[in-house]
Chains A and B, each alone.
Chain A
Amino acid sequence: MTTMTLAKALNSGLRAAMEEDPKVLVMGEDVGKLGGVFRVTDGLAKDFGEQRVLDTPLSESGIIGTAVGLAIRGFRPVCEIQFDGFVFPGYDQIVSQLAKMRFRSQGKVPMPVVVRIPFGGGIGAVEHHSESPESLFAHVAGLRVVACSNPDDAHWMIRQAVASDDPVIFFEPKRRYWEKGEVSESAPAPLGSSRVLRSGTDVTVACYGPLVKTCLDAAAAASSEGRSLEVIDLRSLSPLDLGPVFDSVRRTGRLVVASEAPPESSVTSEVAARVQEECFHSLEAPVLRVTGFDTPYPPSRLEEDFLPDLDRVLDGVDRALEY
């Protein structure tokens, strides 16, 4: 066990992946000498050279499109998109080429590419720097979409993502980059799995990314009021691993799903739909969601209103218990 920040845990995970396989490349804007705007790739260019840590032209479609070509050649590129709102120029290459290449070629051309995206709000940034676009990727067949929430998962999930033969869209909770936690000696769980982080009996709370800490804090607060929340970190957003959620809901009868993203046609709506399909007779209350709004991300002075916080999670829990 070593204690480190989430950003450092990602850095050490990338370093380990690059040491394990010389075909692993890191590429993106400012990832070399600068070490990335969040310093996630700090020191990698110095240690692995500029041919394995590429400071690329300022061109997101180029980052993804050339990564696809490099993967055809046998490399395993790890792309960094600087901020969530900047991924869209690369979205065409992600959807049209990266996601479909294995299917199109019937397995002859795998796409072991990771696209790292710092996501979510809470850092007082200007427009396009605080978005949660994960549902736009979860909807696309052929992509794996994951979100880490703590240093342990950050370290191990990035290594598992690099080792995966499928393209992985890897979401990093940017406002948690500087929070510290312990990193285990071995992977705590497979890449595609959800994890129960706190056991409870009254209400199940499913969440991912930056809201995991919020929900764990809410569970601690609820506990002082005599309410027992079970908190599940979804981790894999596509494919979803809902087995633990179904098990939990069959015991608690109540589910709150939390996310910063707008709720319409989202990961949270998918969880709600699947839980009612699988757990209809166990539900004591409708599945409730605590989310951002169906609006563009607001100017940052309003982001505390947009982002679900501890109180809004507890409000959702209260509403679930009122039924």
Chain B
Amino acid sequence: MSRPQSWVPTDPRSAPTREHVLSGLKGTDEGGAELVQLLTPEGVRVPDERFDGWAADVGVEELKGYYRDMVLVRRFDREGNALQRQGQLGIWVPLLGQEAAQIGAGRALTPRDMAFPSYREHGVAWTRGIDPTELLGIFRGTDHGSWDPIEARFHLYTIVIGNQCLNATGYAMGQRFEGRVGGDTESDEATMCFFGDGATSQGDVHEGFVWAAAYDAPVVFYCQNNQWAISVPLERQTRVPLYQRARGYGFPGVRVDGNDVLACLAVSRWALEECRTGNGPVLVEAFTYRMDAHTTSDDPSRYRLADELELWKLKDPIERVRVHLVRELGVEPEFFDSVQEESDELAARFRSFCLAMPTPGPERMFSEVYAELSPQLEAQQAAYLEYHASFSEEAS
């Protein structure tokens, strides 16, 4: 009896080969010409008929501000990695390489807009005024997120891949139901939902697209395509460039150079305004690269070529802004020195805050499970706290 042939990966959707890497990633093959870019990797400002207007007000001061954002975010992100290596954090989720994608999008949001992050959005959190130290509890294991999501207009990190796309869509439906769309430019709102390339294979992302389209929800689906879902390359998630999927749901999709903060800002501003004026939803694919591991528990050397990283280093999101500021706008070295100094101070504060973080007491386990503690939980809490206390009495 002949056995049915087992499935083997076929060439078009297998992992990138050395040739792919050297010629630019396969994901760029299609739609590459449609990539929105305002600042080349060499730091040259290039025109874009469609999106130039959305960055027209960005002068040297604004660009210096985005540069500062990115340097500070990268600095505390590196400190997070180091703290994990030193045993101070259980895990850290690095954003290295995605600073432009996050700062560009985050700086396009108004205070009224709402953002739903995945778990790598430390840069977006920064733009929402959330102090980096507030992210630490999640990774040290002292809380599941310490900020007030309603007040900050930045939801808590969502770890289950893709769940937040439906939550964001529901929130945006609420914005629409409350009449905060297509009316007054002073009060109109939008929602931005962050997720990765791996999440696009989740049913919740598909359903989010369907629902947002059905209810004209003012939500920007902002996919940071960093090419890798832990060890699985983009080619296992999709046959077509991700931004092209939007067409099937009946709304526009745009691919932007995710390492170009100016382009990410411009495209995000446009997308958010489309939503605020009632033309949502919109899909934005920020084409970027995860320069570090998936998390501190991951080892990318097992599944991807070092050459690939070297290629992407040439497209670094921060370096191109620095070059542009120096060469085209004549910014003096003192500015860069002062940002560097500020970033070191932030890292030191981040570190000392982490080391001083108290571990919550066991009563924290029982807190806010329900609006009102049930008699059953009350009994469990009382019994355990008594048991717990019996040890400290013995010790004293």
Contact = CB atoms under 8 A, between A and B. Distances in A.
B66 interface: no
Interface string B243-277: 00000000000000000000000000000000000
A102 B370 contact: yes
Interface in A234-255: 239-241
A189 to B, nearest CB: 15
B166 A61 contact: yes
Nearest to A58: B210
State which size class the interface on B falls in.
Answer: 35 or more
Contact of B170 (A68, A105, A110, A241): A68
Interface in B198-222: 203-204, 207-208, 210-211, 214
A283 interface: no
Interface in A17-71: 51, 56-57, 59, 61-62, 64-71
A173 to B, nearest CB: 24
Interface stretch (B68-76, B173-181, B306-314): B173-181
Contacts of A70: 170-171, 173-174
A144 to B, nearest CB: 7
A61 B371 contact: no
A66 B166 contact: yes
B192 interface: no
Contacts of B167: 65-66, 68-69, 72, 97
A57 to B, nearest CB: 5
30 contacts: A59-B207, A61-B207, A62-B166, A62-B208, A62-B210, A66-B167, A67-B170, A68-B166, A68-B167, A69-B166, A73-B178, A75-B174, A89-B203, A93-B204, A96-B163, A103-B144, A103-B368, A103-B369, A104-B156, A105-B156, A107-B368, A108-B149, A108-B150, A109-B156, A144-B370, A164-B371, A166-B370, A166-B372, A239-B376, A241-B375
A265 interface: no
A97 B173 contact: no
B173 A69 contact: yes
B249 to A, nearest CB: 11
A74 interface: yes
A166 B373 CA distance: 11
B173 A239 contact: no
B369 A65 contact: no
Interface string B348-372: 0000000000000000000111111
A56 B163 CA distance: 18
A106 interface: yes
Contact of B166 (A65, A109, A110, A240): A65
A97 B155 CA distance: 12
B377 A239 contact: yes
Interface in A104-132: 104-110
B170 to A, nearest CB: 2
Contacts of B367: 103, 106-107
Contacts of A103: 144, 367-369
Interface in A218-241: 239-241
Contacts of B371: 102, 110, 164-166
A92 interface: yes
A75 B367 CA distance: 24
B66 to A, nearest CB: 29
B173 A66 contact: yes
A92 B203 CA distance: 11
Contacts of B172: 69
Interface in A83-108: 89, 92-93, 96-97, 100, 102-108
A102 to B, nearest CB: 5
Given A61-B166, A72-B171, A106-B368, A66 B211 contact: yes
Contacts of B56: none
Nearest to A102: B368
B175 A62 contact: no
B377 A69 contact: no
A190 to B, nearest CB: 11
A72 B211 CA distance: 17
Contact of B177 (A51, A164, A239): A51
Given A106-B143, A107-B368, A69 B174 contact: yes
B139 to A, nearest CB: 15
User: Which among A65, A68, A144, A164 has the highest number of chain B CB atoms within 10 Å?
Assistant: A65
Scoring A51, A64, A69 by chain B CB atoms within 10 A of each residue's CB, the highest score goes to A69
A141 interface: yes
Contacts of B171: 69-70, 72-73
A109 B158 CA distance: 14
A168 to B, nearest CB: 11
B7 to A, nearest CB: 26
Contact of B369 (A57, A66, A141, A165): A141
A192 interface: yes
Contact of A97 (B163, B203, B370): B163
B184 to A, nearest CB: 18
A142 interface: yes
A57 B210 contact: yes
Given A97-B160, A106-B143, 20 more contacts: A51-B177, A56-B214, A57-B207, A57-B211, A65-B166, A66-B167, A66-B170, A66-B173, A68-B170, A69-B168, A72-B150, A96-B160, A96-B163, A104-B145, A105-B148, A107-B368, A109-B150, A164-B371, A239-B376, A240-B376
A93 B370 contact: no
Contacts of A96: 160, 163
B210 A73 contact: no
In the A-B complex, list the 3 residue pairs whose CB atoms are closest, starting with the nearest: A69-B170, A65-B166, A66-B170
B198 to A, nearest CB: 16
Contact of A65 (B156, B170, B368): B170
Contacts of B203: 61, 89
